């Protein structure tokens, strides 16, 4: 195993949890692995992929994440890899479908797994390993529940119950139980590692207004060692802040969010990796799969919707093991934004009533929802997320032979989900207001205990800021203005 690791990936040793997980798979056991962010989860299926006969299928919730994983494999020279998702054109899909057996690694989304022809092709493959990444999305109790994930268990059965690996970075006990039940892998091996990252100091700053928040952040940025990421919950704020930072001379800064073109996303990610950027102002679209070792800080300008995603995002700092800082800025009332977001993601009673009324007049719409997408969207005022939720409910209900009146049950489902989300936000808020050690609190939340003494622990325990600061000012990089010189530098030097 070590030889393969060295030969293919160029690493000389495993990180915590990788060897155990991989051995378990190689000896033919279904496996659930919970490894903290930043410890190389993907290796747990990549390496077995090279040691087992057949294809590895990886189900992944986010398109951007999928592309990052494909890129990682391409980077080590793997050509037999494809992201089978809605980004592919019709021709590309057609071509891919007909040579599916030529791929070693097939990444796909839960939505794609609804396609009959795709499943048909998959079922003809020799599947070495079936991987569910971000497996917490399966659980209604997970912070990122995706109804489409519920069907993965069914797909797995249709594929002949291949050897399965469920990966996640954060999962409470109930979530773990849900994962196993949903995938029907009750007898799987379980590898759970501490979510704690001792080299990341945890800081919370309470401020009184959004202006003060900006000022406090600028103060920190003036002293802090980069590079780093600042997370926002809106595109607009990410863009605006990037602009402010550029103007105020914080070196090279860029905004990153889902609204960028594919090419620009690529360029900005890569510039960041190559050290051409100092700070990224991002929404949560940034960072999944970013393998930058030397991130020195992660700032949250807005509070995340739950401790799980907070942990995931700060986990991108300090992968090299060096001292890093996680700073969360909180102004009283900040929880309103995530509460609104949580509500907006779900269907309201009013929307469901509007839908019920509409379907009572256009009953055929229930059986061919896609054909009425724009109409339904307009009459019930649905967002894209809303519609996807409705579609997924509709698919299931139609498959079960239920009529549109089953929408009534959706009301209760929505109420339950809202309560889950509200509770998560509340947990996050309690953590922000807590006066006990922040690390201890987080571990408690994940049913763990703090067993080691951490030097620069958190603002409550006290940290030595000198470990994280620099005095020199960041300068924007000069651009070469002689085009021939620059071209030579890019192509031949």
Partner 1 sequence: MRISYTEKVILHCLTKIGNQRTIFSILHLLNGKKTSQTIQDAHLFHLTEFFHLFPRLQRNEFTEIYKRMEKVNIIIEKENLSFKLTNKGQKIINGSSNPLPAYVNGWQYHRYTARFWERLSLLVQVVSQLNKQNQRYIPIQTKKEVHYWLKSLLKQLKWKREDLAKQLFGELSALLGKDESIRPILLVIRLSGYSKIGLTAEQVSDKLRMNEDEYHIHFLNILHYMIQQVEKSRTEFPILQQLILDDDHSFSLLTKSTSKTYQLLQQGLSIDEIAAYRNLKKGTIEDHIVEIALNIQDFTIDKYVSQFNQQQIERASKNVSTKQLKYIRQSVPGANYFEIRLVLAKNGIR
Hey, how many other C-beta atoms are within 10 angstroms of the C-beta on 226? 20
Integer Cα distance of 102 and 125 in angstroms: 10
Q: Of 266, 357, 367, 423, which lies in the binding site for partner 1, with binding defined by CB under 8 A?
A: 266
The residues near 319 (Cβ < 8 Å, ≥ 6 apart) are 38, 291, 292, 293, 294, 295
Q: Give the residue with the Cβ less far from partner 1, 132 or 268.
A: 268
Q: Which of 99, 123, 262, 426 contacts partner 1 by CB under 8 A?
A: 262
Asked whether position 80 contacts partner 1 by CB under 8 A, the answer is no
- Within 8 A by CB and 6+ apart from 388, the residues are none
Question: Who contacts 241 (Cβ-Cβ below 8 Å, separation ≥6)?
Answer: 214, 230, 232, 255, 281, 301
Subset of 87-146 contacting partner 1 (CB under 8 A): 87-88, 91-92, 95-96
Q: Select the residue interacting with partner 1 from 186, 263, 384, 447 (CB under 8 A).
A: 263
266 vs 357, beta carbon nearer partner 1:
266
The 450-489 contact track toward partner 1, x by CB under 8 A, reads: -----------------------------x-xxxx-xxxx
Nearer to partner 1, 70 or 329 (CB): 70
Euclidean distance between CA atoms 316 and 298, whole angstroms: 8
Q: State in angstroms the smallest separation of the CB of 283 from partner 1.
A: 17
Question: Residue 66 or residue 204: which is nearer to partner 1 going by CB?
Answer: 66
3-state helix, strand, coil in the chain (%, to 5): 50, 15, 35
Residue 268 as a binder of partner 1 (CB under 8 A): the answer is yes
**To which residue do tokens 């991130």 refer?**
295
Quick one: 399 or 492, whose CB is closer to partner 1?
492
Q: Is 174 in the site for partner 1 (CB under 8 A)?
A: no
Q: Which helix (H) or strand (E) holds 327?
A: strand 324-331
Decide: is 399 part of the binding site for partner 1 (CB under 8 A). Answer: no
Residue in the structure block whose two tokens are 């050897």: 163
Q: Both tokens of residue 223?
A: 């002293």
324 touches 200 (CB < 8 A):
yes
For the CB of residue 475, give the shortest distance to partner 1 in the complex, in Å. 13
Q: Which of residues 229-258 bind partner 1 (CB under 8 A)?
A: 246, 254
Q: Should residue 294 be labelled a site residue for partner 1 when binding is judged by CB under 8 A? A: no
For partner 1, which residue of 7, 53, 75, 400 counts as binding (CB under 8 A)? 75
Question: Cβ of residue 102: shortest distance to partner 1, in angstroms?
Answer: 13
Could you say which of 86, 126, 209, 264 contacts partner 1 (CB under 8 A)? 264
The two tokens of residue 93 are 């899909």
- 236: β partners: none
Q: Is the dihedral of CA 357, 362, 368, 370 positive or negative?
A: negative
CA distances from 53 to 3, 26, 27 (A): 18, 11, 13
Does 331 bind partner 1 (CB under 8 A)? Our answer is no
Tell which one of 31, 55, 67, 386 touches partner 1 (CB under 8 A): 67
Residue 441 token pair: 């609190």
User: How many other C-beta atoms are found inside a 10 Å radius of the C-beta of residue 286?
Assistant: 24
Contact letters (x/-) for partner 1, 272-291, by CB under 8 A? -xx-x---------------
By the criterion CB under 8 A, which residues form the site for partner 1?
67, 71, 74-77, 82, 87-88, 91-92, 95-96, 246, 254, 262-264, 266-271, 273-274, 276, 479, 481-484, 486-493
């Amino acid at each position: 195993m070590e030889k393969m690791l060295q030969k293919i990936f160029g690493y000389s040793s495993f990180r915590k949890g990788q060897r155990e997980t991989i051995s378990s798979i190689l000896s033919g056991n279904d496996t659930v692995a919970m490894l903290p962010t930043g410890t190389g989860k993907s290796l747990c299926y990549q390496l077995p992929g090279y040691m087992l006969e057949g294809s590895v299928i990886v189900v992944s919730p986010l398109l951007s994440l999928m592309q990052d994983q494909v890129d990682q494999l391409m980077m080590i020279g793997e050509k037999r890899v494809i992201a089978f998702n809605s980004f592919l054109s019709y021709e590309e899909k057609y071509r891919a479908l007909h040579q599916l057996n030529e791929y070693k690694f097939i990444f796909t989304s839960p939505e794609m797994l609804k396609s009959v022809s795709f499943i048909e092709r998959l079922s003809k493959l020799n599947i070495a390993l079936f991987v569910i990444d971000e497996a917490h999305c399966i659980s209604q109790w997970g912070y990122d529940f995706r109804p489409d994930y519920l069907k993965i268990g069914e797909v797995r059965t249709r594929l002949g119950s291949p050897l399965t690996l469920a990966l996640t970075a954060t999962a409470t006990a109930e979530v773990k139980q849900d994962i196993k039940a949903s995938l029907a892998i009750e007898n799987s091996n379980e590898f759970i590692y501490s979510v704690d990252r001792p080299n990341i100091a945890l800081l919370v700053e309470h401020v009184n207004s959004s202006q003060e928040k900006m000022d406090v952040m600028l103060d920190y940025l003036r002293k802090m060692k980069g590079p780093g990421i600042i997370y926002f919950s809106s595109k607009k704020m990410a863009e605006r802040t990037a602009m402010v930072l550029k103007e105020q001379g914080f070196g090279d800064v860029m905004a990153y969010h889902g609204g960028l073109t594919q090419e620009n996303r690529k360029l900005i990610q890569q510039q960041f990796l190559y050290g051409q950027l100092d700070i990224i102002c991002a929404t949560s679209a940034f960072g999944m799969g970013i393998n930058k070792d030397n991130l020195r800080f992660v700032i949250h300008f807005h509070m995340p919707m739950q401790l799980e995603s907070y942990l995931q995002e700060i986990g991108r700092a300090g992968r090299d093991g060096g001292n890093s800082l996680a700073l969360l800025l909180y102004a009283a009332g900040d929880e309103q934004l995530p509460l609104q977001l949580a509500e907006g993601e779900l269907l309201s009673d009013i929307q469901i009533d509007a839908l019920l009324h509409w379907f009572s007049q256009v009953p055929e719409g229930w059986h061919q929802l896609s054909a009425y997408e724009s109409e339904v969207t307009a009459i019930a005022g649905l967002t894209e997320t809303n519609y996807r939720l409705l579609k997924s409910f509709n698919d299931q209900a139609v498959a079960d032979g239920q009529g549109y009146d089953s929408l009534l049950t959706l009301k209760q489902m929505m109420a339950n989900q809202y309560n889950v989300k509200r509770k998560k936000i509340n947990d996050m808020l309690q953590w922000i207001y807590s006066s006990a050690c922040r690390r201890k609190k987080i571990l408690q939340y994940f049913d763990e205990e703090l067993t080691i003494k951490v030097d620069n622990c958190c603002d409550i325990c006290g940290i030595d800021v000198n470990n994280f600061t620099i005095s020199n000012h960041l300068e924007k990089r000069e651009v070469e203005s002689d085009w021939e010189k620059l071209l030579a530098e890019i192509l031949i030097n």
